[in-house]
Structure 1
Amino acid sequence: MKKIIILLLALSASSMSIAAGDSFVNEKAHNNIRSTDSLRRGAKTYMNYCMGCHSMNFQRYNRVAKDLDLTEDEMMESLVLTDAKFVDKMEIAMTEEQGNKWFGKAGPDLTVIAKARGVDWLFSYLVNFYQDEKQANGWNNLTLPNAAMPHILWEMQGIQKANFVVETDKDGNEHEVFKNFDQIAEGSMSQEEYRDTVRDLVNFLDYSSEPAKLIRMSYAPWVLLFVSIFTFLAYMLKVNYFRDVH
């Protein structure tokens, strides 16, 4: 628990430190953590596209299987792409030193990224990549400018180019403002299908940041029912006590 708190604080601090430089283009995630099908699709996308560089050191395969109603065989055959065991943590082979050497910056652990950044930020980040030849990796991002991460989902979304216009503020300073995207290469999915895929991925990240949320939400109707019955009984008791009070 202490490690999780430290990681969450570190990610939050990182988020605050770059906030001033973000040209955040907001899109709502509208994810639904209660949808098991969405969580399964998101887990599959994560395992196939994200886990090569991003670990989930505070999550275990068997816990994910339990929460997503998957058997051990279904989990190991469909989602686990390494020789990891069912009870193992969702770790990756790449070390931080290797990540820094190969990519300039190691990919962060994503166990609690949805808590640190928020689901809307994550959704916007994953749909706002665009081609930028000025960047070393060939990509840039409206939500997090000059991000070290390349667009790993470009084959799904396709390639888009960002158009900017120069505007002058009230102090006479000129700055670029995002106008729109031009689709210069089609992906394997339509834009709506791609957003649905990203929504599922963000949904899985939201779940992973707090798996106990599913348990709390399953108990919520019963708690509300208990409170309702208790309130009714308390009211009837009050009526009985004060029946003879004038």
Structure 2
Amino acid sequence: MKRFGWIAAALVFPAAVMAGGGHGMPLDKAGIDISDTASLQRGAQLFVDNCLSCHSAKYMRYNRIGQDLGWTDEEVKQRLIKGEAKVGETMVSAMPADYAKTAFNGAVPPDLSLTARSRGADWLYTYLRSFYVDPARPTGANNLLFKDVGMPNVFWREQGVVMPVTHEVAHEGGAKEIVVDALRLEQPGTLKPEEFDAMIRDLVGFMVYMGEPAQLKRLGLGPWVLGFLVLFFVIAYLLKKEYWRDVK
């Protein structure tokens, strides 16, 4: 009964699991707070631990992350750097390109430096939470938002075993198609659904930061710029009044 309770309570992908293959699929709101430094720090470690083994982020340097997220070079080495990489180097995948081509049927996993800018935070957040078990795929997993994706579900331990809820559609000529209607959490993972969502939000937040690191400083300067404009407006208004005071 406990298992079925989890199944009933854990339809963790509600309206966002409609169209089979992900075409026209509504995106869940990521709710990223780029000013949450603690979240970005957690996301950076998630990225290094789970993404950097296959993907690169060649436009991002380790020491830049440390400067922006409040880590010393020594803390960056301890938290983010695996192997012999230097703190001033860019984030390069640990997987050689030749091996990646073999492992992923000729396709090298893409660089993720600018993925959040090209895809958007909501797309990434929905995508990473939309994997399900598909024995027909080479990796054993498929994705509602990105049908027949070559990437495995690297977070299956935390997420749990997610199964598709499907129905069969008959087309003209007798062809049949299996359409995924929803996803069902068949077996819980190490994290509760809300904890898993929070983890993915941290990861996506870091990728949003990585796509435009300067936005942290830009957002910090925003209030000062607005304050200057307000002050300048007041001064300009007073000058205008003084200039036109004796003009009739």
What is the TM-score of this pair, normalised by structure 1? 0.85
How far has the Cα of 1:78 moved from its partner? 1.8
> Is the contact made by 2:22 and 2:144 (CA closer than 8 Å) also made in structure 1?
no
Check conservation: 2:117, 2:208, Cα contact below 8 A. yes
Displacement of 1:166 in angstroms is 4.8
**2:154 match:** 152
- Report the alpha carbon displacement of residue 179 of structure 1 after superposing the two structures with TM: 2.5
**Percent identity at matched positions?**
36
Answering whether residue 129 of structure 2 is matched by residue 118 of structure 1, we say: no
Distance 1:237 1:44 in 2: 54
Which of 219, 228, 241 does residue 239 from structure 1 map onto?
A: 241
Aligned residue runs from structure 1 range 118-197, under 5 A: 118-166=120-168, 177-197=179-199
- Superposition misfits of 4+ residues, deviation over 6 angstroms: none
Within 2, Cα distance between the matches of 1:31 and 1:174? 40
The 2-side partners of 1:203 and 1:21 are apart by 23
Q: Which moved more, 1:92-101 or 1:109-118?
A: 92-101
Aligned equivalent of 2:35 = 34
| Aligned equivalent of 1:7 | none
3-state SS in 1 of match to 2:78? helix
In structure 1, the partner of 2:96 is 95
Gaps of 5+ in 2: 1-20
The whole-number CA distance in structure 2 between the counterparts of 1:94 and 1:167 is: 41
Q: How far did residue 23 of structure 1 move?
A: 5.3
Supply the distance in 2 between the matched residues of 1:181 and 1:96 (Cα, whole angstroms).
34
Residue in structure 2 matched with residue 81 of structure 1 by the alignment? 82
Q: Scaled by the length of structure 2, what TM-score is found? A: 0.85
Aligned-partner SS, 1:179 = strand
Greater fraction helix:
1
The alignment yields a C-alpha RMSD, in angstroms, of: 2.0
In structure 1, the residue matched to 2:52 is 51
Output one character per residue of 1:23-69: Cα deviation in whole Å (capped at 9) or x when no partner: 53411111111110000000010111111001111111100110110
Paired residue type of 1:214: L
Task: Count the aligned residue pairs.
Answer: 224
